[in-house]
Amino acid sequence: MAKPFPFQIRNLKPHEAEKMKAFSGERGGFVRVGPKGYVLTQGFRDIAAEIYNLVVRLSDVYVVSYARSGTTWTQELVWLVANNLDYETAKSVLLTDRFSFIESTMLFHPKLLAELEERLKNNEVKLKQLGAFSHSILRKVAAAPSPRFIKTHLPLSLLSPKVLDAKVVYVARDPRDATVSFYYLCRSSRNAGFDGDFKTFWHYFINDLHYWTPFFEHLKEAWEKRHHPNLLFLFYEDLKKDLSHEVRKVCKFLGKQYTDDQIAVLCDHLDIKNFKYNASVNNEIWKELGLMFPKEGFIRKGKSGGWRDYFDEEMTAQAAKWMEENLRDTDLRFPHLQ
């Protein structure tokens, strides 16, 4: 029996909604969800209960993260480890088809999709590819054979209460790097279409006027479960520092064993120098569909600490204060900051 979605979904306050108009590509506007006030689009209203009621299977593998935290990288790692290093399939089937992004429909407003369809009306193949963004992915997920691979940026509390019956890999990243990365994505994706400068974007981010914020609440929900046998908590910075070590953690978590040589090959496959040009994962196809403008790629620099090039002194001080305040009541620590 499907349960009603247990959290309140409310409109933003008028002054918040006014600010968030800077996400000019988002046609329907935003909502706040539940006691923590997670910011999602109006489209979430249509899928909230379905996501909450999605029947979890023991064989499901979830990758959960705040956006721009290395999700795609982690997905490819997890998928290959779980699928006996099947590079042939990994290279021939798009990661978006191997991993279902369960709330993706809330990001693509029907009006935007109708406009894009109109542009592509003479291209049957592209129209079909675009169709994947408009149809409820949830029905497909519910009917998909096991094992299913699921991506989400939703916090754990908005997923099924049984989500930890499945295997969940959570990946976190220094919010300063995540926000720089998100800024470039929101500028270059037609659905977000952020038209302000980075400083404005940053202010919105730390004031929880942003997709999937509040950021630290998102992380803390997963961090609290880090000792649960079905949750593996990873950091982007650890992946950067010692990828093979983190790969081994994923292998252990998913009950897989590979030789040192196999792990070395996997690390090479996952290295940004290859990853960026891997058409199966780099989402370059979104540009062809009109979902992204051509100027910036989905896979960008892949660095830790690159935020320093984008923050002025005032923002650096703000970030330090904001992070300190939010980490005060938790033992969550970013490994690279210890």
Instruction: Draw the binding track, 73-102, toward ligand A3P (x: CB under 6 A; -: no contact).
Output: x-----------------------------
The span of 53-61, 98-106, 301-309, 314-322 binding ligand A3P (CB under 6 A) equals: 301-309
H/E stretch holding 181 reads helix 175-188
Nearer to ligand A3P, 12 or 266 (CB): 266
Nearer to ligand A3P, 29 or 306 (CB): 306
Phi and psi at residue 90, in whole multiples of 5°? -60, -35
User: If you ran DSSP here, which 8-state letter would residue 231 be given?
Assistant: E
Nearer to ligand A3P, 36 or 68 (CB): 68
The CA distance from 201 to 221, in Å, is 24
Residue count of the chain, please give it: 338
Per CB under 6 A, 292 contacts ligand A3P: no
The span of 11-19, 61-69, 204-212, 313-321 binding ligand A3P (CB under 6 A) equals: 61-69
Residues 6+ apart with CB under 8 A from 49: 2, 3, 4, 5
Residues between 156 and 195 with contacts to ligand A3P, criterion CB under 6 A: 177, 181, 184
In the complex, what is the shortest distance from the CB of residue 23 to ligand A3P, in angstroms, rounded to a whole number? 17
Per CB under 6 A, 332 contacts ligand A3P: no
Per CB under 6 A, 267 contacts ligand A3P: no
The CA distance from 225 to 49, in Å, is 23
In the complex, what is the shortest distance from the CB of residue 275 to ligand A3P, in angstroms, rounded to a whole number? 4
Tokens of 215: 């950021």
The CA distance from 188 to 324, in Å, is 31
In order, the DSSP letters of 305-324 are SGGGGT--HHHHHHHHHHHH
From candidates 68, 176, 218, 220, binder to ligand A3P by CB under 6 A: 68
Per CB under 6 A, 275 contacts ligand A3P: yes
In the complex, what is the shortest distance from the CB of residue 301 to ligand A3P, in angstroms, rounded to a whole number? 4
Buried b (16+ CB within 10 A) or exposed e, 275-288: bbebebbbbbbbbe
| Residue pair 13/2 in contact by the 8 Å Cβ criterion | no
Tokens of 329: 């009541």
Nearer to ligand A3P, 68 or 148 (CB): 68
In the complex, what is the shortest distance from the CB of residue 185 to ligand A3P, in angstroms, rounded to a whole number? 7
Nearer to ligand A3P, 12 or 61 (CB): 61
Q: Which residues pair with 101 in a beta bridge?
A: 151
Instruction: Draw the binding track, 18-57, toward ligand A3P (x: CB under 6 A; -: no contact).
Output: ----------------------------------------
| Residue pair 306/180 in contact by the 8 Å Cβ criterion | yes
Site residues for ligand A3P per CB under 6 A: 65, 67-73, 177, 181, 184, 270, 272, 275, 299-302, 306
